[in-house]
Structure 1
């Protein structure tokens, strides 16, 4: 499992039971006064827009993926335009570094040994086309802006205040919420792989902006065909467990997201779709 395969082939959300493994400080008190739940729901619903109003931010991302007995942790850092989703990030895993840019909904990646046709150092994937071609798989392309937008799909119930914590010197309030998968892009298809709802924790600062977000998910791959299942009892659906934690700091920082020169880029959008189809066919 290479760093490139994690970034391009794994849903950028995580699995787990919503434990407190990412806690940095604070308390775990869940006591709520009357009306606190409603206030919390309103705060989380408004958080995405309040964060986007800052236009830009510095971000860090940690993606922990476990599948078929293997585990990979990808750590990324960079900057993001919260208004249009453009971003620049360097990710590290297994000793490899990947340079990544998202410009006008096109993802560009440069990784050791990942040269495209003619030895071109960069590959690109059109995120909109990939989502259309892959259905639920379209969620798997590594776009930090998509992860931040999950706050817009929370339900009106199951919002719980978990206490206060300090993140990078900033006081925050932590909320545990439920994401309605149907409200996400390609939600009907995605729900067949991850279920109807997802647990998510968000940490909001005193101005209502997202400072940290943790999303947990268990992703089920499509089952093998009936013929394969009859011949191979191991053809049951495979699961990938992924946890994504994002943090935002330095609001207003400069973002320099530019596409690489065209003569250094190979378009892999179609190839990604073919690989996804082969994987689903194999179960």
Structure 2
């Protein structure tokens, strides 16, 4: 199987499954009495839609990610940890893949570099030399790299909120010892793509065509400065066996921590065939 074939053979879920080494294979409780803010430009909606701007103003942060794929009775969870430079729109994550269903294989962690329009992965796929990277053009993926690599690009997760609607304020909660404001709603991927920062538009526009529905439910937790501390998106795909649910969670902390990302030289990009 080659990278370019993934989106022709079932979209981004095929790629995500290959990254995880499996084929086909959370949440905070809020207070009652949440009030909807359905007005265009209402204060709650505005606060959620501008979360990406607050991250750019913050500069950088450490990040933890979790992605759970559920189909039938099988659940697979992929964990990631690293850092993100929001001004350069670049990040680095170490993604830990689950064992195979028999529990026999230990997968090497995958190193992922995120850049505008591209995802670079090391230790990804059978047949790729240990010193080589795989590069994927995220604008050609059916999901715009919201789930492909087993982790949602942290800034893309915030850009996706630009299409927020039906926002309710759940209340104050605590994330990693910090008081945050919990909002719940749904986002329209197409609307988010049109409102996104220019370098994010192409990937989100691709995602608007790749999911079972344009509407993505979310829970987001913002601090007093409007910075995203935690966000959970619930995506869904339709395939031959039914609907596949993907829950992606991103947690950001230690804002201002320097993040160094150096993209691979062209000579270090693998161009051959990649096995699952």
**Fold-level similarity (TM above 0.5):** yes
1:89 match: 93
Measured after TM superposition, the shift of residue 200 of structure 1 is: 0.8
Question: Counterpart of 2:118?
Answer: 106
Q: Equivalent residue for 2:160?
A: 150
Aligned CA distance change for structure 1 residues 80 and 92 (closer, same or farther; 3 Å): same
User: How many correspondences in the alignment?
Assistant: 235
Say which structure is richer in helix. Answer: 1
Q: Tell me which structure has the larger Cα radius of gyration.
A: 1
- 1:233 paired residue number: none
**Partner of 2:162: helix, strand, or coil?**
helix
Whether 1:56 and 2:60 are equivalent positions in the alignment is yes
Give the 3-state SS of the residue equivalent to 1:206 in structure 2: coil
In structure 1, how many angstroms separate the alpha carbons of the residues matched to 2:168 and 2:36?
11
- 5+ residue gaps in structure 1? 11-20, 222-235, 276-283
Indicate the residue corresponding to 2:135 in structure 1.
Answer: 125
Unaligned ranges ≥5, structure 2: 1-11, 18-25, 99-105, 194-204
TM-score of the pair, normalised by structure 1: 0.71
Distance change (3 Å), C-alpha of 1:58 and 1:139: closer
Q: Distance in 2 between matches of 1:7 and 1:169?
A: 37
The answer to whether the 8 A contact 2:144-2:206 is kept is: no
> Could you tell me which residue of structure 1 aligns to residue 184 of structure 2?
176
CA RMSD, aligned part only? Answer: 3.4
Shift of 1:209: 0.9
CA shift at 1:52, angstroms?
A: 1.6
The residue aligned with 2:175 is 167
For the 8 Å contact 2:85–2:91, the answer to whether it is kept is: yes
